[in-house]
Amino acid sequence: MKSGGMQFIFFWVGCVAAASALAQNVKITPLGAQAGEYCATDRAMLFEDPTGVRLVYDVGASVAGASDPRLGEVHVMLLSHAHGDHIGTNKAAGINTGTCAKPETVSATPATNTGEIIAAKNSAIMTGNDMAAFLAKKVEAIRGAPVPNCTETGLTRDTIVPLQAPCNAFVQLGGKRTFKTAGQAKGVQVTTVFAVHSDNARVEMLSEGGRAGLVPDNLSAYVGHANGYMLVFSNGLRVYLSGDTGIMSEMKTIIGDFYKPQLAIINLGATTMPSEEAAYAVNTLLRPAAVIPSHSSEAATEGGKLKAGSRTADFVRLVKGRKVHLSLSGRTMEFDGKGKCVAGC
């Protein structure tokens, strides 16, 4: 064979190998209020496993309901807690509406943005027990039919997706489920982990009967415990989703030492975990290879660049010895099984 032919074969084999490696990456896409920016209401993230399992986390108010074209299929809906900026008492009025500091939203109550999407996308509800039951009632009100528990098999509690109708995959704190596509040996294992935060539903999310005893005293309804998540993807990538939380010892003893996340998605905030505490959690307790800041409740970027003096910029400055990737809306980041971003960062 001529040398030119051999070179072509080597080139072709190299391209196939590169494509195969790329296909094994986990894709993470922030679904924020303004394309290419990290804005005040941004919470939502879309995860896609190499096997095709798709999960959405904390849709909040930056997703324009079930009709948002960025969603596609949503096999599993993850919710850290029922506060309005996470469950979505409002939803985006459209894509790229308003400003980064003040995105335009419309009311999504009483169904909530999360409930609407679950009902339309036939998603599994994966959250703590009380929250799962609360969401199931929202979905039942929309669809006019009760939400059954998800079918599960085996020791790893496997549920096959896509589903024909929504189902409840509730677990207690520390419980886990695995979601797979048909014919696949592996999927995405989801475990609920502890978070130090309140979890209550505001009265506008409740039925008339539920409101009656709360409104006079300006109270809200308890809906269980807030939680974070550990996700283990089919390529081996281990991702910690902190949810809203303060710094806590479990970040080292359980999450850092036992689960060993390679990527951490950390919620910042003036009323949750400030940048100094969040950086300490990342540097000393969790020790991931990379981190994505979320929930900063500020217009953290302009033109896709980090704003000086922002809470996020302070966090980035304080994180040492690991990559920090900004959560820019619509930018899909791809991670290998060791937590290295190989595309989109």
Q: Is residue 142 one of the residues assigned to a domain? A: yes
Q: Which domain holds residue 258?
A: 25-343
Q: In this predicted structure, what is the pLDDT of residue 161?
A: 98
Looking at residue 67, the DSSP 8-state letter turns out to be G
Helices (H), the chain: 3-23, 84-87, 113-121, 129-143, 208-212, 250, 275-280, 311-318
Q: Are 159 and 150 in contact (CB under 8 A)?
A: yes
Q: Is residue 169 one of the residues assigned to a domain? A: yes
Question: How do residues 164-192 score in pLDDT, each as one tens digit?
Answer: 999 999 899 999 999 999 999 999 999 99
Question: At 113, which amino acid appears?
Answer: N
Structural domains in the chain (count): 1
Q: How many CA atoms lie within 13 A of 331 on its CB side?
A: 18
Q: Is residue 14 one of the residues assigned to a domain? A: no
Q: Is residue 317 one of the residues assigned to a domain? A: yes
- Neighbouring residues of 275: CB distance < 8 A, sequence distance ≥ 6: 268, 311, 312, 314, 315, 318
In this structure, what CATH number is given to the domain that contains residue 72? 3.60.15.10
Q: Are 131 and 224 in contact (CB under 8 A)?
A: yes
Q: Is residue 16 one of the residues assigned to a domain? A: no
Q: Are 287 and 256 in contact (CB under 8 A)?
A: yes
Give the count of beta carbons closer than 10 Å to the beta carbon of residue 98.
Answer: 17
Q: Is residue 205 one of the residues assigned to a domain? A: yes
Q: Is residue 143 one of the residues assigned to a domain? A: yes
- C-alpha distances (whole Å) from 150 to each of 135, 163, 166, 206, 324 are 14, 9, 8, 25, 36
Q: Which residues of the chain have a pLDDT value below 50?
A: 8-22
Q: Which pTM does this prediction carry?
A: 0.91
Q: In this predicted structure, what is the pLDDT of residue 49?
A: 98
Q: Is residue 321 one of the residues assigned to a domain? A: yes
Largest Cα separation within the chain, whole Å, is 87
Short-list 268, 296, 299, 298, CA closest to 282: 268
Q: Please give the span between the terminal C-alpha atoms of the chain, in angstroms, as a whole number.
A: 41
Are β-strands 105-107 and 90-92 bridged in parallel, bridged antiparallel, or unpaired?
A: antiparallel
Structure tokens at 27: 């894709």
